[in-house]
């Protein structure tokens, strides 16, 4: 009975650790993506940049297999959905500081 309870507790701890680790990595990726946009000065329609110029191209299959998961593409998709990252008709991206300031994601970026 005791080994079963210990195993169950161990599994629960592992699941909680995995959840909080992925949450931590996503917060870090959000900060990194915002920093990339600010450093590259992609802050309005006139200064918008492509994914390649920003370095936010999803890694290849081989790269993904050989390294840790890169959360930046997921963070970019999340911010696109929230309207923090805007697109231009020619498929360039820029950071909307006003939308970021009024977004719930702003508290995660600090």
Q: Which residue has the higher pLDDT, 58 or 82?
A: 82
Q: Report whether pLDDT(1) > 90.
A: no
Domain 27-109 CATH class label: mainly alpha
For the chain, give every domain's residue range: 27-109
72-93 as b/e: b if 16+ CB within 10 A: bbbbbebbeeeebbbeeeeebb
Q: What percent of the chain has pLDDT over 90?
A: 51
Per-residue pLDDT reduced to its tens digit, 69-105: 788 988 999 999 989 999 999 999 999 988 888 887 7
The answer to whether 80 and 87 are in contact (CB under 8 A) is: yes
> pTM higher than 0.75, yes or no?
yes
């Amino acid at each position: 009975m005791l080994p079963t309870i210990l195993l169950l507790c161990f599994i629960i701890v592992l699941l909680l650790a995995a959840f909080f680790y992925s949450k931590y990595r996503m917060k870090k990726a959000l900060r990194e993506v915002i920093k990339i946009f600010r450093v590259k000065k992609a802050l309005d329609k006139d200064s918008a940049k492509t994914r390649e110029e920003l370095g936010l191209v999803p890694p290849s299959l081989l790269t993904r297999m050989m390294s840790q998961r890169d959360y930046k593409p997921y963070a970019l998709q999340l911010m696109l959905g929230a309207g923090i990252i805007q697109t231009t008709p020619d498929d360039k991206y820029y950071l909307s500081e006003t939308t970021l300031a009024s977004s719930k994601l702003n508290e995660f970026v600090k």
